[in-house]
Amino acid sequence: MFPASGAQRRPADHTRALGSYHGQPSSVSLLVESNIVQVPFMAQTPALSKIEELLESIVDAIDNGDEISIPYESIRSSQTGAEPEPQDGNDRPLNAVKFPGRTTQEVKKFEALFRIIEMSHEALLTGNLITKRNIYYQNPDLFKSQNAVDDMVDNLAFTLRVGREDLNIVATAKGLVSGPVDLMLRDGSIHSCDSATDTGLLLPSVSLIEKINFRLVRWVLVIEKEATFRTLATSQYAKLSRAGHGLLLTAKGFPDLATRRFLSLLHTLRPELFLFALVDFDPYGVAIMRTYKYGSQRLDHEENATAPRLRWLGIQSDDIMSSVSADYQATCDSSQSEASQSDASQDPASQESLSHSVVGSQDERPFKRHRVTNRQEPSDSVLPLTERDRKKAVQMMREISGVGNMDDEEAHQMRELQRMVMLNIKAEIQAVDKYGDTADWLDAKLHMRASTSGSSGAGGLITATRPCSHEMTALHPLLGS
């Protein structure tokens, strides 16, 4: 059980109370108030003034009959350190979009960028949020593709040195959350995240959240796979976990900015929360976990989008070794048992004894049959790395080593990637399933990591050890793949 910080259970119908009753406040109402945290109101960014400066410069250029120029920097070229290349063989740099353009393509690019600036300006004035998807469908013939809109919006924010949401432009909601938490929005509505459905609550933009009622939540689990999230949400694991109440969060794969900012908000509002990540044991799972924790290289100009205290719960090499080793040992025991029974069946004395045993058991109550299930074999859940996986692993190791002095967590991530490449294996979260249920494994892991948190610089980090000989034997069929 996670430490409760003095919190006590309270009746469910009091969970949304915002203040004390008339007269002397009850202990229940005081508890409710202590679990409701105000989200700091974001001060107005310079995005509006910068956009209006752009629009004023455009008007001035038109009045003077000059060429119109809109500053425009590419995130990609900035990260690679490449100098802006001349456009169409002339000295017109790509860090500005100009009108009239010398090509049709340049004219269309100016028109598309101006349209995005115009829509952002209108959204900032009205206080409304618009999605990148909505921008695209306003004029699909102009923008050509959704990716073109995504890149242009991100590059515009990068050029103005503001965040994407500072432009009042957001991505279509993608993240899901499930657990005993209430999100109180600025429009007065309250969204409970502990609905009985398996779908979870679609995450609203952080800018729309005014307060969060954490109730008795003590941990947050970020899950890579939507299928795993839905399984745990359906079973109400966030409420029924032996580790106490928690919150489940997923971005359905690689994290989007909105989900990262929500996790960062939880990280800031409740520093005592335990934050864990559950991802596949492959280079992409490590990349997803690191993006939540350290941020995205592509969007490193975005603020409030990291969770430094996030811990890698699993799955890791020790989980794979223990799971595969257990299955391998069970297979060996089963084979030995069948061989012994076969030898015994050929002995006449044993045959007679078995006959008397069966006859004598007719009046006895039969034992309950074991549940039969289509449990995956180790070879189904543990697979060899592909060439693409190996390249990604090398890329991740270079990224980690490039930070200079690695801390304990980064050193552990490096070792896990090295073992992944050395053993030539990867595994999905389902590798630790017990008849399709990860609850027992999660209970043990959450309790172990929480109980050791604070006792080491890695927050209860379990350092992987060298695989034992019988574990290597269990993995032998995969090592040769």
How confident is the prediction along the chain (481 residues), in pLDDT tens digits per residue?
Answer: 555 443 433 333 333 333 333 334 444 344 455 788 888 876 667 889 999 999 999 999 888 888 888 899 888 766 655 554 444 444 444 588 888 877 888 889 999 999 999 999 999 998 888 999 999 999 999 999 999 999 999 999 999 988 888 898 988 888 999 999 999 998 999 999 987 566 789 999 888 899 999 999 999 999 999 999 999 999 899 999 999 999 999 999 999 999 999 999 999 999 999 999 999 999 999 999 999 999 887 777 777 889 999 999 989 998 887 655 555 444 445 545 554 555 545 555 444 443 343 334 344 333 332 333 444 444 467 889 999 999 999 999 999 988 778 889 999 999 999 999 999 999 988 888 765 678 888 998 888 776 655 433 333 333 333 444 444 444 444 444 4
C-alpha Rg value of the chain to the nearest Å: 29
What DSSP string runs through 163-221? -TGGGTEEPPP--EEESS-EEEETTS-EEES--SSSS-EEPPPGGGEEEEE-TT--EEE
Q: How far apart are CA 279 and CA 459, in angstroms?
A: 18
Instruction: Please answer whether residues 238 and 443 qualify as being in contact, where contact means their C-beta atoms are separated by less than 8 angstroms.
Output: no
Q: Which residues are catalytic?
A: 137
Instruction: Please answer whether residues 327 and 294 qualify as being in contact, where contact means their C-beta atoms are separated by less than 8 angstroms.
Output: no
Q: Which two tokens stand for residue 413?
A: 């991530």
Instruction: Please answer whether residues 57 and 51 qualify as being in contact, where contact means their C-beta atoms are separated by less than 8 angstroms.
Output: no
Decide the pairing of beta strands 176-178 and 201-202: antiparallel
Which of 147, 148, 143, 150 is CA-nearest to residue 164?
A: 150
3-class DSSP assignment, residue 347: coil
Look at the block and give the residue holding tokens 């060899």. 384
pLDDT on residue 423: 92
Instruction: Please answer whether residues 341 and 334 qualify as being in contact, where contact means their C-beta atoms are separated by less than 8 angstroms.
Output: no
Q: How far apart are CA 84 and CA 59, in angstroms?
A: 26
Which of 291, 270, 237 is CA-nearest to residue 438?
A: 237
**Strand ranges inside 16-140, DSSP E:** 36-38, 68-71, 96-99, 130-131
- CB count in 10 Å sphere of residue 120: 24
Q: Which two tokens stand for residue 166?
A: 């500072």
Q: What does pTM read for this prediction? A: 0.73
pLDDT on residue 304: 84
Q: Which two tokens stand for residue 281?
A: 């044991």
Q: Which two tokens stand for residue 3?
A: 């430490």
Q: How far apart are CA 344 and CA 49, in angstroms?
A: 88
Which of 57, 185, 169, 56 is CA-nearest to residue 122?
A: 169
Which of 218, 116, 209 is CA-nearest to residue 168?
A: 116
Cα dihedral 88, 90, 96, 102, rounded to 10, equals -60
DSSP state, 432?
Answer: G
Instruction: Please answer whether residues 424 and 479 qualify as being in contact, where contact means their C-beta atoms are separated by less than 8 angstroms.
Output: yes
Q: 216 CB contacts (<8 Å, ≥6 apart)? A: 4, 7, 9, 35, 180, 244, 245
Q: How far apart are CA 274 and CA 453, in angstroms?
A: 9
pLDDT on residue 354: 32
CATH dotted code for 174-333+377-481: 3.40.1360.10
CATH dotted code for 47-170: 1.10.10.10
pLDDT on residue 1: 58
Domains of the chain: which residue ranges? 47-170, 174-333+377-481
**Strand ranges inside 311-420, DSSP E:** 311-314, 382-383
Q: Which two tokens stand for residue 101?
A: 């353009």
Q: How far apart are CA 69 and CA 72, in angstroms?
A: 9
